[in-house]
Amino acid sequence: MKEIILIKNGELALKGLNRSSFEDMMIKNMRHRLSSLGAFRYEKSQSTITVIPEDENIDLDEAVSRLLKVFGIAALSRAAVCEKDIDVIRNTALEYLGEALSEVRTFKVEAKRADKKFPFTSPQICEEIGGWLLEHTPGLRVDVHNPDLTVTVEVREKSAFIRGNQLHGAGGMPVGSGGNACLLISGGIDSPVAGWMMAKRGVRLNAVHFASPPYTSELAEKKVHELLGKVSEYAGRIRLFTVSFTELQEAIRDYCPEEMFTITMRRFMMQIAGAIAIRENCGALITGESLGQVASQTLHALGCTDECAPLPVFRPCIGMDKNEIVEISRKIDTFEISIRPYEDCCTVFTPKHPRTRATVELARQAEYKIENREELIQRAIDSAVLKIIG
Ligand code: ATP
Ligand code: MG
Do 237 and 139 share a structural domain?
A: no
Contacts of 220 (CB under 8 A, 6+ apart): 187, 211, 342, 343, 344
Instruction: Please say whether the beta carbons of 183 and 198 come within 8 A.
Output: yes
- The answer to whether the beta carbons of residues 243 and 380 sit under 8 Å apart is yes
Cα–Cα distance for residue pair 92/86, rounded to 1 Å: 10
pLDDT at residue 12 in the model:
62
What is the Cβ-side half-sphere exposure of residue 323, based on CA atoms within 13 angstroms?
A: 0
Q: Which of 139, 168, 197 is at the close of a domain? A: 168
Q: Which residues lie closer than 8 Å to 23 by C-beta, 6 or more apart? A: 9, 12, 44, 49, 174
What's the gap in Å between 156 CA and the centre of ligand 1? 51
pLDDT tens profile 215-259 = 999 999 999 999 999 999 999 999 999 999 999 999 999 999 999
Between 1 and 191, whose confidence is greater? 191
Q: Are strands 106-113 and 149-155 parallel, antiparallel or unpaired?
A: parallel
Would you give the end-to-end CA distance of the chain in angstroms?
A: 33
Give domain status of residue 150, yes or no. Answer: yes
Determine what percent of the chain is predicted with pLDDT higher than 70.
98
What gap in Å lies between CA 176 and CA 187, rounded to an integer?
Answer: 25
Span from the CA of 293 to the centroid of ligand 2 (angstroms): 7
pLDDT at 328 over 90: yes
Residues with CB under 6 A from ligand 1: 184-186, 188-191, 208-210, 269, 287-289, 294, 344-346
Q: What local confidence, expressed as pLDDT, does residue 13 receive?
A: 55
Is 147 among the domain residues?
Answer: yes
Q: Of the ranges 43-52, 144-153, 193-202, which one carries the lowest mean pLDDT score?
A: 43-52
Per the CB < 8 A criterion, the answer to whether 326 and 216 are in contact is no
Model confidence over 122-139: pLDDT tens digits?
999 999 999 999 999 999
Alpha helices by DSSP H, listed for the chain, are 19-34, 60-67, 86-102, 122-136, 190-200, 218-235, 246-255, 261-279, 299-306, 322-331, 335-338, 360-368, 373-382
Q: What is the pLDDT of residues 55-103, one digit of tens each?
A: 989 999 999 999 999 999 999 999 999 999 999 999 999 999 999 999 9
In the chain, helix, strand, coil percent, each to 5?
45, 20, 35
For residues 357 and 255, what is the distance between their CA atoms, to the nearest angstrom? 20
For residue 209, is it within any domain? Answer: yes
Cis peptide before 214 (omega within 30 of 0): yes
Backbone angles phi, psi at 268, to 5 degrees: -65, -40
What average pLDDT does this structure show over 328-348? Answer: 89
pLDDT of residue 321: 96
pLDDT of residue 353: 79
Which residue, by CA, sits nearest to atom 6 of ligand 1? 188
Judgement on whether residues 41 and 185 belong to the same structural domain of the protein:
no
Question: Which ligand has the nearest atom to the CA of 192?
Answer: 1
Residues 241 and 368 in one domain: yes
Tally of domains in the chain: 2
Collapsed DSSP state (helix, strand, coil) of residue 49: strand
- Residues 138 and 278 occupy one common structural domain: no
- Res 17 pLDDT > 80: no
- Residue 196 identity (one-letter amino acid): W
Show the domain range for 385: 180-389
Lowest-pLDDT choice from 14-18, 68-72, 358-362: 14-18
Domain membership flag for residue 174: no
What distance in angstroms lies between residue 210's CA and the mean position of ligand 1's atoms?
10
CA 349 – CA 252 distance, rounded (Å): 9
End residue of a domain, out of 168, 201, 229: 168
